[in-house]
Structure 1
Amino acid sequence: MFRRKSIITILAASMVLSGGAVYAQTNGAPNGQSATAFDNKIIKKISADNMYNNIALLSEQPREAGTEGEVRAVKYIEGQFKSLGFETKVLPFPIYDYRTNHVWVKIGGADITGTAPRAFSGSVSGKVTKQLVNVGKAKPEEIGDEVKGKIALVERGDITFIEKVQNVLNRGAVGVLMYNNSSNGNAFGQAQEGQNIPAVAITQTQGLELVGKLKSGPVEVTLDVDIEKIEKTSYVVEAKLKPNKNKDTGQIVTVGAHHDSVRGGPGANDDASGVSAVLELARIFAKAPIDTEVRFLTFGSEERGLVGSSFYASQLPKSDVNRMVAHFQMDMIGGRDAGADNPAGGLIMYTIDGKKNLVTDLGAAAGLRTMDVAIPYGQLGRSDHQPFHELGIPSALFIHSPVEPWYHQPTDTLDKISKEKLQQAAEIVGSSVYQIARPDTPALENARVAPGTVDYDFEDRPVD
């Protein structure tokens, strides 16, 4: 693991510029090193029992996108927001299931050996026979012009499936053959509407065999995919908490989690835990004085490739985007067995570009105040902070990493949830959001009592 070391310091200047935002010395707490009275307006009211009870209800059945399980969760979440008096909206969007009639992969005219190949969710039907080109993990810098008119051999990992398909499509590829980056079979892959090339998943062993063959010369591959497309509906739940018009700074801060689970999985930690914290913070902020609009969001179809959050971001008016100053995403924040032996139970803040921003600045400072640990940051996509980052909004994912062995399994159940970790993450996110939304920090740059910034580490920590 690579780690840039730094010494935790509280900047004692009366006004400090960091991550594009200005903070001031804490009023009433020496050097800002302990939870302030302002923090306590939020964190003392957070109930891990409430969160645990919400996880229990949400994880009674799987919540796969487009199923009755998701609809049940959406109705419950919306009902909770409505009971708090929020301006609430459920936003439907289309998703697609696919019935596969056949998926054939031939190497030099012979069927691929071993595990039967699988089509990506969202792959189109089609048959192509072309030379294979190895493009690594299909990051833009790895893809040359030689992939034009060819089939791209891609390794899973680092960026989303949809990005990989789009990157090779942009360079003129006519098919995608992706192999796993672990020994966990080939049940993976997502393409999106408009990515009109066949995309097929194979095992790590099969992929590495092809990598070896390509070193010896050209390899001709046939992809033959026959799929029927079935439209379903998934949802985003949005709840707006608006400040008094006389105090409104015009800014918006968003707090999100995804409410869907994988097929057959109860998803207690992934991500009923994040949803439970969104609901709990909504309950507390409903009675807190604020000068900033706070939006509480839960997204469907995260497990299909961030489809719900991407949809939400795409339909936002430009005027809203221009007012959004931060997005806090919570995903898998209650895993008893997550985090390994890392400090703070393994809690880390991931950004898309691996750079600090307003969200990580606030999160690190809140961690130091609430639990004497400046939470580290790292670089990772794979969750719903990504579409907000792409809109230019400072964003970060809060998660305990590395994830637990029950990740994406039917054993991701309530008994694996830690109330202590739920409390920890909710306190840090709640305190951070309140630094923006509380009335004595108007528009942040005019803040007089916000805690000082802290130095905090970058960690190159894999999530799984």
Structure 2
Amino acid sequence: MKKQDLTRALWLRLGAAAGGTALVLAASAPAGADPANNTSAKLRKAVTTAGVMEHLENLQGIADAHDGTRASGTPGYAASRDYVVDRLEAAGYSPTVQAFEFPFYRELSEATMAQVSPTAKTYANGTEFASMTYSGSGQVTAAVTNVSLTIPQTNPAGATVSGCSAAEFAGFPAGNIALIQRGTCTFGEKAVNAQAAGASAVVIMNEGQPGRTDVIAGTLGAPDVTIPVLGTSYEVGAEIASTPGIVLRIGTETESAIRTTWNVFAETAKGNPDNVVMAGAHLDSVVEGPGINDNGSGSAAILEVAEQFAKVAPKNKVRFAWWGAEELGLLGSEHYVADLVANDPEGLADIGLYLNFDMVGSPNYVRFVYDGDNSRFPVGPSAAEGPAGSGAIEDLFHDYFASANLTSEETPFSGRSDYGPFIEQGIPAGGLFTGAEGVKTAQQAAVFGGQAGVAYDVCYHQACDTLANVNESAIDENSDAIAHAVVTYAMSTADVNGGKGRPASPPGQHVDGTPVGAGTEGGGGLHDHDHGHGDLS
């Protein structure tokens, strides 16, 4: 097999990328990697909590200098990319940067909706309506025109076709607000049809069937419209539809456009190119905050490991990856894997395994290990099947924690982080996670410490996900586990895929972790994996 072709990637240096902003940081050069860091014990000694925290301090500084965010599509992400590239070059790597386009969206101010006549009434954002992701901007006061509504909706087996064809908009009064009902086609298709018919704004109400009555907080899938688009509950929609002569005032202020973002890669010069060990973490934050735990923590941890690993001569090639646009739906890792599928299937086949590190410093943490063999979370709607070899990766992490007298728990492959595209291709995967918005159980608190009844990360996807939100003990324990896994598989993947090589450290006795309470439904920084599809009823 040939070495994976990374020449398609765009080579970038600090401050040189389009949209990049060079930022001078108070950071020391990375400690020189020791070529003798070729065992677990030596690499773990070289990888320090202070080293990881230095990276997190610098990522916080980047966010502070760029409106409090490091989200893909913003200058804060470009500066984060430049920082990683700069540190990798200083450590002796020749990093590559892969550019790709993605649909960017953020609200600049809270959306509003009010009834102007026949009765003045203000609707509550979040409980009676919500803006649609990729809504356009505008301030609109106009009459409402109903489009093929079914009120009341009494057939649980049926779905409305409201707004799904241009024919439904025949005679639509240009400038009016279109009231459309959920069902059959995507929210995006409905909105595009309404805009083409001359609507000044769109309100999409829920269907009214059981389970489809609440406020719709959906996505249009892409920035294809320029007019405001809101979702409402069935109750609010039915009220608007049945009020003769109703006039609404709708206001949105958004940024919705196709933008460029980047993945960053660094790989060892030596090692078997036909059996690549990958370790990845998403570098972007959400728009709302700096993302120092989610996922500065994983990004900083693998950057510290990469720096200390730079001069090691591995038996298998090691490739580190920092993903862009994970928070918009795993877009960076999906782009990377899809590019390999289309253009370099041999390069895809050369990836022996993938390790994922998405949030490893949660303040109220648990040492979660991905359930690679589905022994704890059977395959189903909330748990994907771990490809063959994933169970061995799970075992390695459990065994490592046990060797350090630390308990560990399991978390499913829920599809919420960047392992997703890899396991879809049958690549063995695993990794660590310390918890997101899930709530710690009393049993977990008794075993792992922390507070029962409180989220693992109370600042998840919020502005308060700052340096103060990171638990240094979690960073210490997990960065050592990451170092152990990387150097172990750099020397031999025999337990995972039969690869040849010598072990980096003597094998420990296998343990299955410590199942505690109900576990977690989480698995990374991502919520709804529907970025490209909108809603299909």
Which TM-score applies when normalising by structure 2?
0.58
Greater shift after overlay, 299-308 or 271-280? 299-308
CA contact (8 A) 1:121 1:191 kept: yes
- Paired residue for 2:92, among 85, 88, 113? 85
Question: What does residue 383 of structure 1 align with?
Answer: 417
**Distance apart, 1:426 and its partner CA:** 1.6
**Distance apart, 1:310 and its partner CA:** 1.7
C-alpha distance in structure 2 between counterparts of 1:105 and 1:325, whole Å = 56
Change (3 A) 1:93 1:249: closer
Is residue 2:425 matched to residue 1:395? no
C-alpha distance in structure 2 between counterparts of 1:169 and 1:413, whole Å = 40
Question: What does residue 323 of structure 1 align with?
Answer: 350
**Distance apart, 1:209 and its partner CA:** 5.2
CA RMSD of aligned residues (A): 4.5
Is residue 2:300 matched to residue 1:293? no
- The one-letter code of the counterpart of 2:48 is S
Is residue 2:386 matched to residue 1:353? no
**Distance apart, 1:286 and its partner CA:** 1.4
Change (3 A) 1:439 1:416: same
Is residue 2:147 matched to residue 1:129? yes
Is residue 2:280 matched to residue 1:256? yes
Q: Which runs of 5 or more residues in structure 2 are unaligned? A: 1-37, 64-68, 138-144, 165-182, 192-203, 208-213, 240-249, 373-381, 439-455, 528-537
Change (3 A) 1:445 1:262: closer
**Distance apart, 1:314 and its partner CA:** 1.6
**Distance apart, 1:47 and its partner CA:** 0.6
Question: What does residue 18 of structure 2 align with?
Answer: none
- Paired residue for 1:70, among 77, 99, 102? 77
Please state whether the residue corresponding to 1:93 is helix, strand or coil.
strand
- The one-letter code of the counterpart of 1:315 is D
1:48-447 matches, cutoff 5 A? 48-60=49-61, 61=63, 62-97=69-104, 113-115=123-125, 117-122=129-134, 129-131=147-149, 146-147=158-159, 149=161, 169=185, 189-193=218-222, 202=231, 207=233, 229-244=256-271, 248=272, 250-316=274-340, 317-335=344-362, 337-339=363-365, 345-349=366-370, 353-355=383-385, 357-358=390-391, 359-401=393-435, 402=438, 403-438=456-491, 444-446=498-500
**Distance apart, 1:273 and its partner CA:** 0.9
Q: Answer 1 or 2: which has greater strand percent.
A: 1
After superposition, what is the alpha-carbon deviation per residue over 1:364-414, rounded to whole angstroms, capped at 9, x for unaligned?
A: 222222344244233422222222222222234522123311112221111
CA contact (8 A) 1:313 1:387 kept: yes
**Distance apart, 1:454 and its partner CA:** 3.2
Greater shift after overlay, 81-90 or 354-363? 354-363
Greater shift after overlay, 82-91 or 444-453? 444-453
Count of aligned positions: 377
- The one-letter code of the counterpart of 1:455 is D
Question: What does residue 521 of structure 2 align with?
Answer: 462
CA contact (8 A) 2:410 2:519 kept: no
Please state whether the residue corresponding to 1:433 is helix, strand or coil.
helix
- The one-letter code of the counterpart of 1:239 is A
Change (3 A) 1:148 1:279: same
**Distance apart, 1:48 and its partner CA:** 0.5
After superposition, what is the alpha-carbon deviation per residue over 1:296-342, rounded to whole angstroms, capped at 9, x for unaligned?
A: 1111212222222222222122112212222222122112x223xxx
Q: Which runs of 5 or more residues in structure 1 are unaligned? A: 1-36, 135-143, 153-166, 180-184, 214-223, 340-344
C-alpha distance in structure 2 between counterparts of 1:187 and 1:174, whole Å = 14
Identity %: 22
**Distance apart, 1:71 and its partner CA:** 1.0
Change (3 A) 1:178 1:392: farther
CA contact (8 A) 1:147 1:168 kept: yes
Please state whether the residue corresponding to 2:306 is helix, strand or coil.
helix
